[in-house]
Chains A and B, each alone.
Chain A
Amino acid sequence: MVAYLLRRSSQLLLTLLLSSIAVFAIIYAVPGSPELTIAGPNATPEQLEFVRERLGLDKPVPVQYLKWLVAAVRGDLGHSLASQVPVTELLGQRFPATVQLICFTLIIGLILALPVGGYAAMRPNGIVARAASVAQIVLLATPSFWLGILFIWIFGLRLGWFVTYSDFVPFPQDPLAAVKSSALPALTLGLFMAAVLIRFVRSAVSDALREPFILAVRAKGIPEWRVVTRHAFRNALLPIVTVVGLQLGAFVGGTVVTESIFNYPGLGRLVFTSVVARDYPVVQGSLLLVVTCFVVINMVVDLLYAVLDPRVRAD
């Protein structure tokens, strides 16, 4: 296990290094520069040069990257070029918000997908299975931003149940306010996640129910609900965990549209605004965090395989 963790950690470092080089190269290749945001569109060439020097942007790009890398290794991700706030502080404000949103999304997605997918696997020709298929297709075909706007209109403007923009209220600080402020974006993302998961849950549970050991379990006289929940589901969990892991990785930093619709202060919105403003240190820091999260999530999924499947443990 230790050897495995060390191996994966070294892979993470290599991935981070290569990602940082790629992001630096790409963001600098894009036209536009941050000094214009600070000095304004009427700035003279002199003023722009002054701002460039102040921000250290007059140095060659490789020199800027090396300087950033040396500082990043020490934990200093630099300062936002636009606001001059430390990047770590900005990430510290946004990352917990994203994590909380993802947790709520995961809860909603799993609560919907597991029982519906499981039941659809048990009764593939039943009403629930057919309704789930239709709902799944509709949800997958519907753009998430449209769904979000619909929820804002219904629950925010018409019914007045929720504020139309979402805030980050830490769950430990005020659980009810945290749920209320994140309900609509979490529901928007959770429905999408459920739509993706239902198919995999149904397929995995169906496959498991066809295994010979299920016949043996049923022959012992175990109730059907226990056959499904304690035996079939356990064997179906591996592909489900894989898909959940991929979904979670995508949600970290990939929810910019939903966050913009609801004005949720998450990592996705930070990445988007910093790319538009050409705020290089923030882009670098944010994307490194996203990559780290993605790799860590995949590492956790791999570890979960060992927990869920004794055969993997033996290997």
Chain B
Amino acid sequence: MNTELSRRRLLSLSALLGGSMVAAPLLSACSGPSASPSGTASAGAEKKNVITIGSAVDVLNFDPYSQTTNAIIVLRLLNAWLLNYDEDLKPQLDTLKAYEISADRTKCLLTLRDDVTFVTGKKMTADDVVFAFERARDPKTGFNLASPSQIIASVTSPAANQVELTFTGPTSRTLIEDLLVGQPVLDKAGNTSEALATASASAGPYRVLDRKPGQSLTLEAVPNWYRGDVATKTIELRIFTDAKALTSGLESGALDLAVYVPPRDGQRLQSRFNFLDSFPGSATMLLRVSTKTAPFSDRTVRQALWHAIDRDRMVRDVLFGFGGAAALPWGPKSPAQDSSYTDRIDYNLDKAKAMLAGASQLTGKAMVNGSDPVSISVMQIIQSDLKKIGFDLQIEQVDAGAFQARLVAGDFGVVLGQMGGGQLSLPRITQNSLFRLSNNPLWPNGAPPKAYVDAITALTSDEDQTKRQAAFKQLNDVIVEEAWAIGTYFVPQLYMYKKELQNVKRDHQNALVLDRATF
């Protein structure tokens, strides 16, 4: 039997087959890595007109009223607003030509630009703006805008290009301007949550060209945009399920910009890429404490938690220096910030231990979102510190869907939850369920303390600085005393992008602003 011949032939055949398998990818690799969906390297001139963005959060709808994390990435890319804020939170006109607040602060007259066209092709009229406000006022369909819009008593159109807001009473100027900054303008015909689930209807710098849910969203620049030509013609948003895959895409050069890069990767990449951290105070992580659940129904136990939060360690070890420590929920430039509270709420385990001495129960439950590694690490730091002083905090990891449901229902002992709007006028915080004036999930019967409600009410209407300072103090006092919202850190929402990409900005809500961005 001639075995040598058969072995040689078998090996030759295997080598031929195996070699072709190896050669195919190698040959294709000779053309270099691809940076575009077609798999081919883009020509230099075409590349400059495309910004490829990676995001670990999908864009589920185009409704600026919901303003969930899922929608905020494209908030500024697709939508137009009455006013905008600059970096110093000074209002700048957007679709308004002018606005005038009456002397008694019960009315505001808006004069609209006449050159704003929606992506639907229709020009903006007063009718669209009136409808936009009416939808915001509707408690069912206003979503995130419903709560701040409750200060509006009526909306009318006294002239073709004017809209008049009448408030329920004298309203502080900053609150009115916040309202105008937060109000998007859309084509009335497309301004419903059903329609906005699949199509945008606003007047932003970009419009949707193609959408594959869970995969990609392609935007093209709107021609003759009312604020001038948009610098980059196309934006490709690629959706990632895994944050590591997102970061790898940025590192490999396939992505030009990555949204919400994890802090650990941000620290590693900050020498190679430019980055934008969150607008100061725009996103604060608070330890939400349910006053309905033992042992946190005991106010002394809740107050002890103020002294068991090692904020500096969280920023150093978990956030890698991004963001910052936050004790009170307000932005660093907020008039409500007060350094005199530092001693009352400083990290001091001895104080915490003394306060827990009289507690009837020294065990409690913490809920964390299992798909948020940062929250898990932060809660573990809190757990470790509490253990040193004899309190057993048990951490329960739940999946994202169950987490949201229990967060909304207040079905937890303590939980880390993000709050936006800390950089705005204080009454805006009532948008967040944590600071809601009614239906508050953290309080029995949904009613937070009267002192808190009174302080918010006072800040809604008063312009007298002495009274406002008193209201700030009352607000801080009740938050510290009742301890249902304990500040931990300012959330870093990192945008990292190639150094050759210029004019990348984010607004006061951390929404991307790219109308002037270019290579």
Contact = CB atoms under 8 A, between A and B. Distances in A.
A258 B132 CA distance: 44
A156 B32 CA distance: 10
A152 B249 CA distance: 10
A176 interface: yes
Interface in B47-91: 54, 58, 60-61, 66-68, 70
B60 A111 contact: no
B interface, how many residues as a size bin? 35 or more
B503 interface: no
B28 A183 contact: yes
A41 B70 CA distance: 11
Nearest to B411: A31
Contact of B433 (A41, A169, A176, A270): A41
Nearest to B419: A42
A271 B374 CA distance: 25
Interface string A270-294: 1011011110000000000000000
B95 to A, nearest CB: 24
B33 A156 contact: yes
A294 to B, nearest CB: 23
A84 B59 CA distance: 12
A33 B139 contact: no
Interface in B172-226: 193-194, 197-198, 212-215
Contacts of A82: 60-61, 213
Contacts of B103: none
B197 A270 contact: no
A179 B28 contact: yes
A10 interface: no
Nearest to B434: A42
Interface in B400-444: 400-408, 417, 431-433, 436, 439
A93 B140 contact: no
A118 B14 CA distance: 10
B444 to A, nearest CB: 16
B416 to A, nearest CB: 12
A111 B18 contact: yes
A9 interface: no
A273 B39 contact: no
B6 interface: yes
A104 to B, nearest CB: 10
A174 B34 CA distance: 14
A277 B37 CA distance: 26
Most chain B beta-carbon contacts within 10 A, residue among A50, A108, A275? A50
Interface of A is mostly: helix
B447 interface: no
Given A31-B402, A36-B404, A163 B214 contact: no
Interface stretch (A18-26, A58-66, A70-78, A221-229): A221-229
Interface in B1-30: 1-3, 5-7, 9-11, 13-14, 17-18, 21, 24-26, 28-29
A167 interface: yes
B113 to A, nearest CB: 30
A67 interface: no
A165 B248 contact: yes
Nearest to B14: A115
Nearest to A218: B1
A51 B17 CA distance: 57
B40 interface: yes
A80 B6 CA distance: 58
Contact of A180 (B11, B25, B193): B25
B38 A169 contact: yes
Contact of B252 (A43, A107, A164): A164
Contacts of B400: 32, 276
Contacts of B9: 223, 225
A265 interface: yes
A42 B431 contact: yes
A34 B33 CA distance: 38
Contacts of A218: 1
Interface stretch (B239-247, B315-323, B355-363): B239-247
B35 interface: yes
Nearest 4 CB-CB pairs, A to B? A32-B401, A177-B39, A224-B6, A161-B29
28 contacts: A32-B401, A38-B193, A42-B431, A42-B436, A43-B408, A44-B439, A47-B142, A50-B141, A51-B193, A54-B194, A83-B197, A83-B214, A115-B17, A152-B245, A161-B26, A161-B33, A162-B25, A162-B34, A165-B54, A165-B248, A165-B249, A183-B28, A224-B7, A225-B9, A259-B241, A265-B212, A269-B214, A276-B400
Interface of A: 30-33, 36-51, 54, 80, 82-85, 90, 93, 107-108, 111-112, 115-116, 118-119, 122-123, 149, 152, 155-157, 159-165, 167, 169, 174, 176-181, 183, 187, 218, 223-225, 227-228, 259-263, 265, 269-270, 272-273, 275-278
Interface of B: 1-3, 5-7, 9-11, 13-14, 17-18, 21, 24-26, 28-29, 31-35, 37-40, 54, 58, 60-61, 66-68, 70, 139-144, 146, 193-194, 197-198, 212-215, 238, 240-242, 244-246, 248-249, 251-254, 371, 398-408, 417, 431-433, 436, 439
